[in-house]
Structure 1
Amino acid sequence: MKNSIIKIIVLILLLNPIVGSACSMYKITRNGKTIVGNNEDWLSPNSKFWFETGTEGNYGVMYMGQLDNFAQGAINDAGLVFDGFANPDLPINNATGKIEIPIGDAIKNIMQTMSTAEEVKLYLETINLSSLESSQIVFVDTTGTYLIVEGDALIIGEEEEKAFSNFYYSQIESEEDVELENFKQGMEFLKTSKGDASISYCGDVMQSMSSEGLFGTQYSTVYDLNTLTVRVYLFHDYSQFVDIDLKEQLEKDNHAIMIADLFSKNSKGHQHYAKYNDEENPQRFLSELVATSLNATESEFVEMGLNGIVNMVGYEWLKQKNNPEAAIKVFKFGIELTPSDADLHDSLGEAYFENKNYALSKLSYEKSLALNPNNKNAKTFLAKIETKKF
């Protein structure tokens, strides 16, 4: 239940014009060549690439995502690429009789065995896509054909140029209706430029769609689907890049690399990455974030969405980096600013529990329950604590 609440908070933050941002994707096909770019906008810089070699006739795949190993995007050595977007809910009604399979498994099957958007469409028509009610996925193949997966709609298109972001094409009359600032900036750039199907031009497009906000562009990737070259930019800095030869990487054994580690430790992106992951001072990122707002009231911090941001950072330390001591520091920092927040006391209780400090865990859960008597999660953990010896 707690994880579901955090996911809702994340979506609210992403769609909040004050703190949110929008991931972006763009494709251009000219003279038999297709280039695709995407921006991953998020709070955490802990993004990585992992490479899985092709076996038994399957394609090799380069995935990208966070520490939880859930693929946010990928490219295979047949030149099929996809990217995912968090979107507002769009009901999926056409699920009766469809194959039940976790979407992550379906994506993996697609990337290992398929090379065209048409193949993907035929396959997804057989799958129950109910888990995508608040998401959309876009696939592009070497011919430039794209597939948008949104709600019950599977939309195939073949325009030379197409841009995508956190909205549904099926729900708008025209691209002029889209209010996402990053998308609007990108469309203005495209109107005033006449680009070619090149990695450098696509990089310029992604720069026009990038953001430097709290949920800013952590990295950008540009794919040449024909040569299988992948260009990477870090932390909305387009003055430097790294080119990856996909074929070369897939000739190695399965391996992974943090995207920040592809760049110099002196780069802006790597310095941000180091600050965010400071084990000695894990609240450093948050402390600098609120440095100009220390005189804010608790209600003002709540209005800023601080609760959700602290939970995102804290649970990354707790669950993905397996460091409950760092998570405790993060949650305590958040509670100092919003002492009446039942959810943060609940989170601190879980961090203490994972650290086997059951006495302090009990105190935190009791405080959370006092602030919110309907907190079922706190009641569940308090019952668990009673079975522990401390």
Structure 2
Amino acid sequence: MAMKQLALFILVLALAFSPATHQRELCDPEVICPDQGCSVIYASDGKLALGGNNEDYINPLTKVWFIPAEPGSFGGVYFGFDNYSAQGGMNDQGLFFDALQLDETVPISMTGKEQATEDLTSKIMSECGTVACAVEMFERYYFVETWNWQFFFGDATGESAIIEPTAIIRQRDGYQVATNFRQSVIEKDEIDCWRYLTATDMFKKMDTLSIEFMRDVLEAVHVDESTHTLYSNIYDLKNRQVYLYYFHDYENVVVIDLEEELARGYHAYDLPALFPLNSEADQWASSRLRHYQELIDDRLAAGIDAEDLQSYTGDYEMPQGWAAPGDVLTVTASDDSLLLRFPDYRQYEIFPESETRFFHIAFSGQDFDYLFDARFELNKKRQVQSLVLELGSSEVQLVRIGLGPNVAEVEPPAPPPTTMPTPSFTPRQPTSVPSTESLAAMEEELTPPPEQVDQPATGWGWLAVPTALLAGATAWLALRKRKPER
């Protein structure tokens, strides 16, 4: 994967936080987002090195995707939501990470550090195989000047560390636990996070480290009130396998073999489709998914089919300075929508409102809403020549590489129905399900990343996007991984 510039990351933030006509206010996390937190654990006994995570949130569109190795970049498996922004994951060297929200914003030390030109966690996961390497990256680079989050890294050698805004806490007891507070600024006898206390107590009493024990810890600290533990994963860092659980059901497990999945190239699964029907999860998600479908139906144009959408597919040049030379945005088509895939593998689904105008729906605050619009510009022969992303009062134009077929004339949309059709929420089935058998351990020796391909330097285009977008990212993280009040 080519090195991604800071500008590309901020462009993605712009897509996530651009104001739209129908956008709702973000919720006040102290009032209506009280238990959106995450728990991350790690343990090693010399034979096993295991990491684990509970993802506690309210967005039902959970995803898992696989990015194969490329020159200069390790491959990996990542977990998150419908915008494919990784909330956690493991690379093919046995390094895993997860991020946790804090309840305060803290200035970081920038003395003697270089400003990173890309998302630092992405850089670490693509170039590092050990916690030592990850720590070195954070000691060398900074990305933004303040944090209200922290990171957890663990590796196959038995090392783990919590990267706080102003401190690095290394694991010393064979295990480590992190939730949503800074351990460096609080006395142990003053800690009141029930998830942290429960997990720590279980590790202190542990007889034998195993996958089953890690599962029991995650089950003990899951949440199922206004927020639910949407998925849990246990990373077997030596064997490069992931034990995956859905919607705090710890009886049904899917085992992902990373080597097997990476051999299939880039692909993704709707996470619920990997598991048997979960009636509790379906009931919990039904109202939000119904609203999601209603938003689509309210603006979806009639008379545009899959064949029409093929006219827009292809590669579009990233604006100069926004990404590494040669990086492109790729547009692909499904039956009723287009998918925009950025060079960093983040994806955004857009639906047609007319023959040239499209809209994107994403999770915002407590529910789905319209977040940004896009339009395709045609030449006199009705061939697509560019894609324009409408980000509030700003626009970003991406020129198509090569001209495709003419865009067909589309009949005017029919009047909306007097009653809203009842949507179907049957999850899409994956083309294949990861193996549930435990295979032989992969070679434990860490290997260097594939040979780096030299890239010419590029300018920074990030000044074109308001600095306020970073504040938007911070607000989103505050909603994503909030310290529970319980």
Q: TM-score, normalised by structure 1?
A: 0.67
- 1:171, 1:27 → 2: CA distance? 21
Instruction: Report what 2:365 is aligned to.
Output: 312
- Following superposition, the deviation at residue 100 of structure 1 comes to 2.1
- Percent identity, please: 26
Q: 2:114 aligns to what SS in structure 1?
A: coil
Q: 1:16 to 1:241 in 2, by over 3 A?
A: farther
Q: How does 1:168-207 map to 2 (within 5 A)?
A: 168-174=182-188, 176-191=189-204, 193-207=205-219
Amino acid of the structure 1 residue aligned with 2:371: K
Instruction: Report what 2:388 is aligned to.
Output: none
1:295-329 residue CA offsets vs partner (Å, 9 max, x unmatched): xxxxxxxxxxxxxxx95244x33238x89xxxxxx
Matched, 1:215 2:215: no
Asked if structure 2 preserves the Cα contact closer than 8 Å seen for 1:144 and 1:158, the reply is: no
- Following superposition, the deviation at residue 230 of structure 1 comes to 0.5
Instruction: Report what 2:107 is aligned to.
Output: 92
Q: Which runs of 5+ in 2 are unaligned?
A: 1-13, 296-362, 375-391, 393-467, 469-486
Instruction: Report what 1:128 is aligned to.
Output: 142
- 1:240, 1:196 → 2: CA distance? 22
Q: How does 1:1-390 map to 2 (within 5 A)?
A: 3=17, 12-13=28-29, 19-56=34-71, 58-101=73-116, 104=119, 106-130=120-144, 133-174=147-188, 176-191=189-204, 193-278=205-290, 279-280=292-293, 312-314=365-367, 316-319=368-371
Asked if structure 1 preserves the Cα contact closer than 8 Å seen for 2:110 and 2:145, the reply is: no
Q: 1:195 to 1:72 in 2, by over 3 A?
A: farther
RMSD: 3.2
- 1:153, 1:184 → 2: CA distance? 21
- Following superposition, the deviation at residue 184 of structure 1 comes to 2.9
Runs of 4+ in 1 over 6 A off after TM superposition: 4-8
- 1:132, 1:65 → 2: CA distance? 23
Q: Which structure carries more strand by proportion? A: 2
Amino acid of the structure 2 residue aligned with 1:248: E
Q: 2:115 aligns to what SS in structure 1?
A: coil
Q: 1:94 aligns to what SS in structure 2?
A: coil
Amino acid of the structure 1 residue aligned with 2:238: N
- 1:125, 1:261 → 2: CA distance? 40
Q: 1:41 aligns to what SS in structure 2?
A: strand
Q: Which structure carries more helix by proportion? A: 1
Asked if structure 2 preserves the Cα contact closer than 8 Å seen for 1:22 and 1:182, the reply is: no
- 1:202, 1:100 → 2: CA distance? 37
Q: Which runs of 5+ in 1 are unaligned?
A: 283-309, 324-349, 351-376, 378-390
- 1:17, 1:187 → 2: CA distance? 28
